[in-house]
Amino acid sequence: AQKVTQAQTEISVVEKEDVTLDCVYETRDTTYYLFWYKQPPSGELVFLIRRNSFDEQNEISGRYSWNFQKSTSSFNFTITASQVVDSAVYFCALSEGGNAGGTSYGKLTFGQGTILTVHP
């Protein structure tokens, strides 16, 4: 069975601080996909990134960066120079590998979420 653990329930920082959100996953599949979603107070789920299990390259997108390490089954998310608008719940999620007829990225197992509050 798949499992995603986000050990940090809540994080509070002051604007411009860097913050790292931890994510540890468990799966028996050799092919899997990892995601981060943001859920702002308005409630929608906003896709941030997808990572394939066979691609361990780290990624940077503006102030966001992701560190994927298969050896420790972790997929951590760092926000550099945080801003008040980054305040949200952040979910790490896992999708299992290919299904017949193509790969389905939509059946996700979510972590419990980390509530990030950035104070001005």
Partner 1 sequence: AAGVIQSPRHLIKEKRETATLKCYPIPRHDTVYWYQQGPGQDPQFLISFYEKMQSDKGSIPDRFSAQQFSDYHSELNMSSLELGDSALYFCASSWRGRLNTEAFFGQGTRLTVV
Q: Is 91 in the site for partner 1 (CB under 8 A)?
A: yes
Exactly one of 47, 58, 81, 84 binds partner 1 (CB under 8 A); that residue is 47
In the chain, % helix, strand, coil (3-state, to 5) comes to 5, 55, 40
Per-residue contact string for residues 59-78; x = within reach of partner 1 by CB under 8 A: --------------------
Does position 113 interact with partner 1 (CB under 8 A)? The reply is: yes
Answer yes or no: are the C-beta atoms of 28 and 88 closer than 8 Å: no
Give the C-alpha separation, 5 to 7, whole Å: 6
- How many residues bind partner 1 (CB under 8 A)? The answer is 24
How far apart, in Å, are the Cα atoms of 7 and each of 71, 78, 84, 103? 18, 15, 22, 29
Q: Which of residues 13, 24, 45, 67 is near partner 1 by CB under 8 A?
A: 45
Q: Are 85 and 95 in contact (CB under 8 A)?
A: no
Which CB, 17 or 97, lies closer to partner 1?
97
Residues that bind partner 1 (CB under 8 A): 35, 37, 42-47, 50, 91, 99, 101-113
